[in-house]
Amino acid sequence: MNGMLVKSLSKSIKNLSKHIRCKPKYLPFLALILVLLPVLSGCTSSEAGKKLQVRLGFFPNLTHAPALVGIEKGIFANQLKGMEFRAEPFQAGPAVMEALAVGEIDLAYVGPVPAITGYLRGVGAKIVAGANNGGAVLLARPDSGITKPGDLTGKKVAIPQYGNTQDISLRKILADAGLKDKARGGTVEIIQAAPADMVILFTLKQIDAALVPEPWGVLLEQKVGARLVLDWDQVWRGGNYPTTVLLVSQKFQEQHPELLRSFLKGHQEAIQFIQQEPEESMRIVNRQIKKLTKKELDAKVLVKAFSRNRVTSIVDKAVLKEFADLAAEAGYIPKDANLDGLMIP
């Protein structure tokens, strides 16, 4: 149904009402139109609303800088040319994947591991671009005796969340050093802890090391004197592994390919702005983080943390396959998982 039909029906009602007294036989027809008109009108409004809205999920994190810059500078909204744009902050990958699965959002910035596990579990969402590479460091307590990955044997190492990008990266580090976690018969105990809690855990000597995304690495260095074991470009592949990727729901991709292309132009524009204007980008990111979390990063912390990240729209498929193999070895996903349809060419 469309607006023209509703207008036509309204006109018919007016014409019928003029003759209704002298021609009672029209009464049933008029009654039917009066019942249908609100339904038809509501249907039209609802459908139009759905077509005009583009919904984005993101985290108030440094590694989601393209999202934060694109939102504040109005880049996404401008590229979508007047379409209604809504951005919703999330705190964890699983929540984002659930929102994509049930159709609450159309696009999302999220870690590659949640993207892989969500895809394999049937969430209709695919990777359309990269967003950030690197951005994580391995730190140790000053008195832990840890100076290299091989020293992690017999130690407790914290990561923000089981199954996330830092968890998988840590398992890669351990494998390269000939080590495994205790749950798999090894000698390293991997502990899940919120980065904010790691300050206390280090102080109480309840953990010996941690692999964390920025700005938490810089904050742990400052607050508890944590020592850098592996810098961001030493963790894996010279830092050329995805920390954040951009996902699109399959439904949105199929129904609105032109809007997806427009958003991707905005995504690329935000990345180029960050690369060309790093100082202004840092200020934007800090403002957005403060707006969403009520916390602002110290300027020195922000500069150092920002230097440990690389924004990019490129995603290496080989890295995604390696992520999947490590996740399978950890028991998070089935072995020999097929990722052929995960990325849109």
Q: Does 109 share its domain with 142?
A: no
Q: Does 141 share its domain with 226?
A: yes
Q: Does 275 share its domain with 296?
A: yes
Q: Does 119 share its domain with 261?
A: yes
Q: Does 166 share its domain with 315?
A: no
Domain edge (last residue) among 175, 205, 231 = 231
Q: Does 140 share its domain with 226?
A: yes
Residue 209 has pLDDT above 80, yes or no: yes
Reference 251, options 144, 139, 124; nearest CA is: 124
Any idea what the CATH number is for the domain that residue 295 is in? Answer: 3.40.190.10
- Per DSSP, the residues of 128-168 read EEEEEEE-EEEEE-TTS---SGGGGTT-EEEESSTTSHHHH
The verdict on residue 335 lying in a domain is no
Bridge-partner residues for 132, per DSSP? 244, 311
Provide the domain count of the chain.
3
CA–CA distance from 12 to each of 20, 43, 68 (Å)? 12, 19, 51
Q: Does 147 share its domain with 290?
A: no
Length of the chain: 345
Query: What percent of the chain lies above the pLDDT cut of 90?
Result: 69
Confidence of residue 163 (pLDDT cuts 50, 70, 90): confident
SS3 324: helix
CA–CA separation, 12 vs 114, rounded Å? 55
Question: pLDDT at position 15, please?
Answer: 52
Q: Does 128 share its domain with 141?
A: no
In the chain, helix, strand, coil percent, each to 5? 55, 20, 30
Q: Does 273 share its domain with 291?
A: yes
**288: which DSSP letter?**
H
Question: 227 — alpha (psi -120 to 50), left (phi > 0) or beta?
Answer: beta
Half-sphere exposure of 217 (CA within 13 A, CB side): 28
Q: Does 150 share its domain with 107?
A: no
pLDDT tens digits for range 78-137: 999 878 999 999 988 888 999 999 999 999 999 999 999 999 999 999 999 999 999 999
Domain edge (last residue) among 231, 257, 272 = 231
The verdict on residue 174 lying in a domain is yes
Q: How far apart are the first and last CA of the chain?
A: 36
Q: Does 97 share its domain with 154?
A: no
pLDDT tens digits for range 16-74: 444 444 445 544 444 444 444 444 444 333 344 445 689 999 999 899 999 999 999 99
Tell me: cis bond preceding 142? Omega within 30 of 0 counts. Answer: no
CA–CA separation, 345 vs 289, rounded Å? 32
The verdict on residue 98 lying in a domain is yes
CA–CA separation, 333 vs 330, rounded Å? 8
CA–CA separation, 256 vs 245, rounded Å? 20
pLDDT tens digits for range 271-306: 999 999 999 999 999 999 999 988 889 999 999 999
| Domain around 104 | 55-132+244-329
What mean pLDDT is reported for the chain?
86
